[in-house]
Amino acid sequence: MPEGDTVFRTARRLHEAIAGAEVARFELRVPRYATADLTGEVVHEVIPRGKHLLMRIGSFTLHSHLKMEGRWLVFRRGERWRAPAYQARAIVGTAEVDAVGFEIAMVDLVPTADEDELVGHLGPDLLGPDWDAEEAARRILADDRAVHVAILDQRNLAGLGNEYANELLFVRGILPTTPAAAVDAAGLVETASRMIRANRDRASRTFTGDTRPGRQNWVYRRERKPCLRCGTPIRRTELGATETSERIVFWCPLCQT
């Protein structure tokens, strides 16, 4: 599942592949930008912003979001793609490689000066150079919803998805339905930062420190299985800001109170 660490690695891979090169092929297969052409412009950089990708080309920014299925892959020029062509929504090619975005969402092309219109609403970025733990904690404490909902709101802090939310609350011993204003927000944010930074450069995400299959998660997707700490069966429910934004929540009724 693409979360902040996945987006960070994707941006780094794209930056290494195309930054500094001139665009030789440019296609956006979305109606709004179907005629856009940045051929001849230089790719300045590719950076992550929470779960968003910003590819700065010339004086423009190509913005995309991976959502659930999206991915950016890099191929040598002329190499056969490892995904169906009909899934490609963006192609940024240089003389040597093609960067192709498959099933990506929120595809936008805006002047770089207007980037904030797309990502300015995001809270402090856990993997960003301007990470502000105090501000993130302040925003969580000001949220009157359940803590699981609050830490998934990208306006409070950017980069956490549902897997991180479940694992983070287990490690901190917090029941997911606890009001956000009642938790140790500073401690929660500090643990979140350590978690995502530890996973940032790993090939396989783990929260337990164990990379063996079935041992990487404390609670996420482990409904009815014994807690790895106390043996109590893991429970499952759903929480969300609205009915249409509910996420599956997993917790240990003994370790999280």
Report, as residue numbers or ranges, the catalytic residues: 2-3, 51, 247
161: its two tokens: 């998805």
Q: Which residues contact 55 (CB under 8 A, 6 or more apart)?
A: 14, 43, 45, 46, 61, 62, 63, 64, 92
Q: Please, is 190 exposed, middle or buried when counting C-beta atoms within 10 Å of its C-beta (0-12, 13-18, 19+)?
A: middle
Q: Which residues contact 212 (CB under 8 A, 6 or more apart)?
A: none
* Alpha-carbon span 25 to 244, nearest angstrom: 38
Amino acid at 9: R
* Alpha-carbon span 216 to 228, nearest angstrom: 10
* Alpha-carbon span 57 to 46, nearest angstrom: 9
Place of tokens 């983070």: 168
Cα radius of gyration (the chain): 20
* Alpha-carbon span 140 to 189, nearest angstrom: 9
